[in-house]
Amino acid sequence: MKSQDLLNSVSGTSDETEFYTPLPEGYSLGQTKYVVITGTVMSGLGKGIFSSSLAKLLSDKGLKVAPLKLEGYLNIDSGTLNPFRHGEVFVLDDGMECDMDLGTYERMLDMDLTRSNFATSGQIFTRVLEKERHGEYLGRDVQMIPHVTGEVKMRLRELAVQSKSDIVFVEIGGTVGDVENAYYMEAMRELAYEEGPGSVCFVALTYVLEPKTLGEQKSKAAQLGIKRLMEMGIQPHIIACRASNPVTDKVRQKIAQYTNVPLEHVFSMHDCESIYIVPSMLREAGLDFEVIRMLQLDQRINLQRERQAWLEWCDFNDKVNSIKNEVNIGIIGKYTSLRDSYASIIHSLEHSQAHLSTKVNIQWIDTTSINDKNVQNELKDLNGIIVPGGFGARGTEGKIACIKYARENNLPYLGICLGFQMAVIEYARHVCGIKGADSTEVNPHCENAVITILPEQKNIEGLGGNMRLGGKDIELKPDSIAWRLFGQKDSVRMRFRHRLEVEPKFIDTLTEKGLVFSGVAPGQPIMQILELAGHPYFIGTQAHPCLTSRPLRPQPMFVGLVAAARNHAYPDRNFPNAIETVDEIMQQTEKSIVEA
């Protein structure tokens, strides 16, 4: 298709054209390149890990990259999804509630993403219907092709213009053959046609079965899945094979033969110790330079920049493999049967353990059956605990029992969102003597609601998008633990997802009895960080600090917890206290960033 045809189809000057390809202002066909990652056989195999790892390698070479996750569900965002069904809800700085894969991109690329990096079918269809109501389709009957697929391509191209990227990485959720994803696949086929040769690289991530009863790897499911992709008009350039063990040459050869993909482009993405090793696996296979060659980007790369970035990444991986100590940290929650519910917390602990050379053994503890009588037995082998965010009343009394035990027995504690609220309730009940202290979420008719709904939320009905969301500044109290954790700064920015707060009328009572609110919302009586003086490490925040932890820049609250847990596990080793340890690591991190 010629560029003039596209311009005519946008402007409406050609009444007879069947083309409908809206282009954002400033967009030039073929200038931005695209890497499209699709799944076959089954979902949840790691498309986001592969995509973000490849994006990191190309970003390290000086190329500007931008990811976009396309989800097939009709929800406008991920905010109302149950963690049991879809894993963690990841919140971006601008308040968008999105898929957990966006967290993988932020961590790998060390980049803050926005709502432009996430789209659902609900968003796409909403925009199409709004345009139809405003008469923007010039009287044409609105169809899946070309109007809905045109809106998908518009989202990609808008991101390209907005981010000024060399490459946009497009990850399509689910698998080939899912009804809800069919129009995404069609849009990608059209994209490759319109952008021209050398503009789009297709990656198919598949799964190689290895039934224990057979004792060998089987590729038939992978072959059929990729064949389904080819039937939709998409020829993959790279195939990433997920498997428990390294994919054999025999299996790779079979897949190559049945899919027209060169053997060297059939990549074994087998299980490894850490997802942070995947970039090394891709680099050793040479896939980063193969993509650069396919997309004709040779003239845009900076190899000197790559060398420095790769040295830093290798240094991080060396730290991951140089573990000297071990601690046991319990995650106290109600979604413990699905680890993806706490993905960001797990990664934050991984980042901290690397910088502290201390392996964190996570113990999953369901609080629904914990009480004051059995809590000691449940926590006896732990060196620290985390009470993470969550909603609803189930398991809250068990969390309060765990927090009380941690406070009274000098067990390092980090409370996140609901964990912050439960710590306030525990302190109100057992230290301040406030009878019937509770949260209105747990008990709407409680005697003393020390945790209640935010003022701006009281007149809002429904669930979707009605919380305090996204990045907010927190004013820090000078000389407090939080102030020292964050480098003695006056304020820090963290991300939020909540609709409840500490009831202002109880703040004086709580503080008079020793609870320190060391972080507050600027100009508002909204308490956002709490701590206890004299405790080895007892801190909570209404925010979700795990959302901004990065491999090379671990989040200070998690570093402090792991450091305190290490002191708890090895009391005779004379390690520095948690705050001194955090300060040393943060200084080292800032120095390496400045040098880079």
Q: What is the per-residue pLDDT for 11? A: 44
194 and 50 in one domain? yes
pLDDT bin (cut points 50, 70, 90) of residue 477 is: very high
113 and 239 in one domain? yes
275 and 339 in one domain? no
Q: What is the per-residue pLDDT for 593? A: 54
273 and 357 in one domain? no
In angstroms, how far is the first alpha carbon of the chain from the final one? 44
448 and 398 in one domain? yes
CA 133 to chain CA centroid, Å, is 35
User: Average pLDDT in the 547-573 region?
Assistant: 95
264 and 131 in one domain? yes
Which of 316, 339, 363 is a domain's end point? 316
300 and 174 in one domain? yes
pLDDT at residue 10 above 70?
no
CATH of the domain at 50: 3.40.50.300
264 and 383 in one domain? no
Q: What tens digit of pLDDT does each residue of 57-86 get?
A: 999 999 999 999 999 999 999 988 877 777
Q: What tens digit of pLDDT does each residue of 394-403 get?
A: 778 999 999 9
471 Ramachandran zone, left/alpha/beta (phi>0; psi -120 to 50): beta
332 and 312 in one domain? no
Which of 316, 340, 371 is a domain's end point? 316
Q: β-pairing, 358-366 with 325-333?
A: parallel
Which of 254, 283, 316 is a domain's end point? 316
pLDDT at residue 206 above 90?
yes
CATH of the domain at 420: 3.40.50.880
Q: What is the per-residue pLDDT for 320? A: 86
Contact 239, 255 (CB under 8 A): yes
Cross-strand bridge partners of residue 269: 242
Q: Model-level pTM greater than 0.85?
A: yes
310 and 348 in one domain? no
328 and 303 in one domain? no
Q: What tens digit of pLDDT does each residue of 247-299 get?
A: 999 999 999 999 999 999 999 999 998 899 999 999 999 999 999 999 999 99
Cross-strand bridge partners of residue 328: 361
Q: What tens digit of pLDDT does each residue of 319-369 get?
A: 888 888 999 999 998 766 667 789 999 999 999 999 999 999 999 998 888
What b/e sequence results for 48-67 when a residue is b if at least 16 CB atoms lie within 10 Å of its CB, and e otherwise? Answer: bbbbbbbbbbbbbbebebbb
199 and 74 in one domain? yes
Number of neighbours of residue 467 by Cβ within 10 angstroms: 19
pLDDT at residue 15 above 60?
no
**Tally of domains within the chain:** 2
pLDDT at residue 508 above 90?
yes
331: containing domain: 322-595
